[in-house]
Every structure is written in C-alpha cells, then in structure tokens.
Structure 1
C-alpha cells in the first residue's frame, strides 16, 4: 500500500490500528510467498454500501489456502462478519476495496508447511474507484507465459502466483501498453495478469476454460451469467492467439478492473477501436447490479449499514 486505507485493520480477530498491524521479518510468507488472498469490492447505493459476492470470495480464500495446507482458523461466515464489522469500524460508505489474506507466520525456514504451521488472517480496506479507463485500454501479448498447473496451481489465488503477473505487467508498461494478455504453456490465450479475458466474434462470446491456466474468477462468472441473461451464447474453450486479432470485441473482467474493453491489441484496433456494443451491455448491467439498481441479483449484495 502506498497510502493508508482505513484507520483499522482486522488482524486475527481483533481490530488493530493501521500503523500497528505489523509482522516480524522472519514471517514465512515474506520469505516464501506462503500467502493467499482475495480482492473484494463494495459499492455505494442510494442508501447503503453493498459488498459484492462476499460469500464466494471468502469461500475461495479458504479453498486457495487448503491447496497449500495453509490453515484458516475462521469460517467463511466469520470472515464475512469480520469484513462487515471492519467497514463499520472505519466508517466507510464510499466505493472501496477489501483485501482478506491468510498467511504462514513464524514457521521457520523449512518448506514443509502443514495445517499445524502457525498462520494469520488479515482483512484490510481502502477507498477505491476506477482501475482502468472506462473507454477502454491498449494491450499487448506478453512474451511471458502464464503459470501452468503442472508446476503451480493457477486456480489458487496465491500471492506467489503474481510474480508471473508482475513480469507481464512490467513488460507491457515498458512498451507503452496499459495491460498484457498472457498465453498458457501451449500457446492458447489464458488471461491478463490480474483479469480474465473474453472474446466476442459474430455475436458469440468466448472465454478460456480454467484448463487454460485461467483463474476461476468470480467477476468472470458474473460476466458469464450477465451475458447469458442478455441472450448471448457464452462458450468456454481454448482460444488461439490469432482469434484475438480477428475479434470484434475483447474485454477483461476482474474485481479491480470490473468490465474493461481492450480496444487495441498489439497496435491493431479491436473492432472499430472503441468499446463494443456487447461489452457495453455487460459493463452497464454489471454497474447496475453492484450499485443495487437491479433487484434480480440482490443475493450477490451484502449490505453494510
């Protein structure tokens, strides 16, 4: 964090002042990346603040932790309650980002992490608005391949996985792009460094299935449900690099990115070089859902106040 978020952080069941939420330099997660996390958004409505798909995020945090035998001493429900209480403690009523984490503490320097290893759970929150430009972004195909399930589980939202994403992001930024698109080990489209990807061709929507080293994203799932409710076919399958250049539209999905169009890829305009109609429909519907304007999906929203 470059700047301070809320005044308090939830740390192992207690509210701790932001400046006092510290760990020893010998913390195992600092040395070996033994940490899992989530990114969750909360949005203001006319009379409340709603956390989007809170239960699904907390359940995925626990699943990610289980892959690495990182013990989480709190149920999904307890973590949900902690997140709500933290927002209230900090008096937050604006658009914000919630970051829960579970990590290995004073385990020692060996790598044999087990469910008996000491662990910690943390939730922090900070104000957050737009991550990317609403009008769309420029992207490039990264030369760095996405991690593969044969070496590191891509479906676990583990901190160490994002070293791979950092390399791809550094590369695209050096070359003047906003974001990159990563291919999997076999050369098929996987995802962006922090987002899932969708391709629109001939009024059909395609997205890589999770077997292409893609994270099983919660915003990805949301976009699929929205698109199908709008009457579009959504097909999960391998997507070749060339299909990106032939796409009518391309968009990314993620907690931070929400729904963001890629309007230029590798210096080539995607479609007419502007956000496409289908992307716009999905994005606008998503915005209405998270701000509690569409009651059909109210089950995805957890009120804070």
Structure 2
C-alpha cells in the first residue's frame, strides 16, 4: 500500500512511455520542456466501484479521445494510439485491483520532454499515466450541502488566447490564480467570467443554474469553456428525463437570483453551490434539480442504470 499523504492512497506503479515503473522512480529531467513552458495535455478520469463490486472506468474512450484531440490542437504528435492509452489505463488499474476499494482517479498526461530548449523546440513527446484515490474534489460536505463560490477578478481567456477545446497544462495557470484568490478569501471555489462579462465556468468545473422559472441553463460551447465530459453526461441525463437545458450566456447577477447552481466535472462530480459572492442561492441548500442530477449520476457511474452501460469500461 502506498500513499501520497497519510490519508491518500496511490498506485505503487506508474505507466511511463509504455513501461510500468515504481511510483518513486517516476522522475523527469529538470530540463523537460513542459516544465519550463507548459506545453502538455492531460485528462482526469474516474473509475468507480460498481454496485456489484467490480471496478469500472467512466467514459474512458471519450476522455482519451479528448486527450488525443488536445495534443492535435497543440501540434503534439502522440507516440501512442488512443487504444494503446486506454489499455494502459486499464492495465494500471488491474495491477492495483485490490488497492482501490473506493475507486480511483486516473491522470493521463502527455508533454514535450527534454532536449532542445526555447519556444521553437520540438522534442519527443512523453506519456504518463498515474492513479490515486481522490475523494470529492470540493469535499464530501460540499457534495452534500453545497459550497461557497466567488466571482473571480481573473477573466477566462478569450478563445483566440487559449484553445478552449484543449485540456492544456499551461492554460491552467489562469485557473490556479483564480482558485488561490477564492480560497484565500475564504471561499471554496472561483467562478470566472469571459471577456464580455458573461459567466464562463469555475476554475476546474462547468456550471449549471436553474432560474426562478425552473429553466436550466449552462454556458454554450461558443463560450471560452472546456467541453466537459461530465457536462455532456449531465446534459444527456437531463434530456432523457424530459428536462430542457438552454445552452446560453448569462450574467453573474443571474446566478445571484437563481434557485439552484451546481458544478460538474470529473474531479468535482456534481457539487452544489449554496452561495455566490456572499449571496445565498435559493434556499441555501441543494435543490430538486441538483439532487436529481446527483442521484442519477452516481447511479450511472456505479452501474445501476443499464441504459447507460456503454459509458462504463470494466477493469
């Protein structure tokens, strides 16, 4: 058994460039290009213990395809196929089958390695997959009761400044600064606006709201937001339940007077927001739409909704 801290389990092996090595041997040279300039792409993928005790990876193919797309956007020639990376994820979990009793969080990452330096350098692409047991990203209490969010002073970058369809390492400095600002101010998470002042997304999550008329809204993909796989999942679940979602821009004060707000993301899963900028959202607790999404989502990832079985890849 290994751990990154006294309370977090991690795999005792890492997949690096096609080979498994011990966790403590997972080193990269200090001259790794991505360390200096941020050119890398990554994914966060969850595997869940299903209701029958098996381990299943949620929407593995979609995550790996987005990794490949992100690399393509960045002119990074991936040394492995999507199928090879999918199998590497599964094999890593097979080697740790007894360790992750509560499921696991997978982190595939690809980046420009060491060699030449400078912005024009083109070095071999390295690929790594790690896994650990990462609980609720914004806390179990946050999942149950909701969190406090702050509209950040940092703006989500324009679509000609960052590549919004890519999950690109260097772009997350914007999110880190926003998150740090929020946490230092006593909040749990940051909400970023776009350059026109419309709500974009949180530092690492997509956002949904329900207004006083019961209309569910989420920013459109024409906004500078990540095309979240959990976002896509929630849109599908809501549509299948007969609920309509407007993919439309809206302002921060629409959040203030909304009845419900929740974040979606692989790490955050479905996290309610009970307060924005010191203004209580609705009744200050998860509302009926949020609870429906949470309940349905967790049933799906645990294999209790057969109609969505194709989203699960069993280890």
For residues 149-192 of structure 1, give each alpha carbon's deviation from its aligned partner in whole angstroms, at most 9, with x where no partner exists: 11111221011111000111011111110011100111110000
Q: Distance in 1 between matches of 2:312 and 2:121?
A: 35
For residues 40-79 of structure 1, give each alpha carbon's deviation from its aligned partner in whole angstroms, at most 9, with x where no partner exists: 0000012300100000000000100111111211111111
DSSP-derived class of the 1:273 partner: coil
Which residue of the partner structure matches residue 270 of structure 1? 281
DSSP-derived class of the 1:285 partner: helix
- Asked if 2 retains the 8 angstrom alpha-carbon contact of 1:155 and 1:215, the reply is yes
Which residue of the partner structure matches residue 171 of structure 1? 181
Q: CA deviation at 1:119?
A: 0.8
Which residue of the partner structure matches residue 37 of structure 1? 42
- Asked if 2 retains the 8 angstrom alpha-carbon contact of 1:100 and 1:121, the reply is yes
Q: Distance in 1 between matches of 2:147 and 2:228?
A: 20
Which residue of the partner structure matches residue 151 of structure 2? 141
Q: Distance in 1 between matches of 2:11 and 2:21?
A: 11
For residues 261-293 of structure 1, give each alpha carbon's deviation from its aligned partner in whole angstroms, at most 9, with x where no partner exists: 101111111000000100000010000000001
Confirm whether residue 246 of structure 1 aligns to residue 264 of structure 2.
no
Q: Which of 51, 70, 73 pairs up with 2:76?
A: 70
DSSP-derived class of the 2:298 partner: helix
Q: Which of 55, 58, 64 pairs up with 1:58?
A: 64
Q: Which of 229, 242, 247 pairs up with 1:236?
A: 247
For residues 99-135 of structure 1, give each alpha carbon's deviation from its aligned partner in whole angstroms, at most 9, with x where no partner exists: 0000000241121255xx3111100000122222222
DSSP-derived class of the 1:144 partner: strand
For residues 80-114 of structure 1, give each alpha carbon's deviation from its aligned partner in whole angstroms, at most 9, with x where no partner exists: 11000001112344221000000000241121255
- Asked if 2 retains the 8 angstrom alpha-carbon contact of 1:139 and 1:177, the reply is yes
- Asked if 2 retains the 8 angstrom alpha-carbon contact of 1:51 and 1:301, the reply is yes
- Asked if 2 retains the 8 angstrom alpha-carbon contact of 1:184 and 1:190, the reply is yes
DSSP-derived class of the 2:237 partner: helix
Q: CA deviation at 1:231?
A: 1.5
Normalised to the residue count of structure 2, the TM-score between the two structures is 0.93
Confirm whether residue 80 of structure 1 aligns to residue 91 of structure 2.
no
Q: CA deviation at 1:2?
A: 4.8
Q: Which of 209, 212, 224 pairs up with 2:235?
A: 224
DSSP-derived class of the 1:211 partner: coil
User: What's the C-alpha RMSD, in Å, of the aligned pairs?
Assistant: 1.3
Task: Give structure 2 stretches of 5+ with no counterpart.
Answer: none
For residues 217-255 of structure 1, give each alpha carbon's deviation from its aligned partner in whole angstroms, at most 9, with x where no partner exists: 000000111111122111111111121112110000000
Normalised to the residue count of structure 1, the TM-score between the two structures is 0.96
DSSP-derived class of the 2:157 partner: coil
Q: Which of 99, 105, 111 pairs up with 2:107?
A: 99
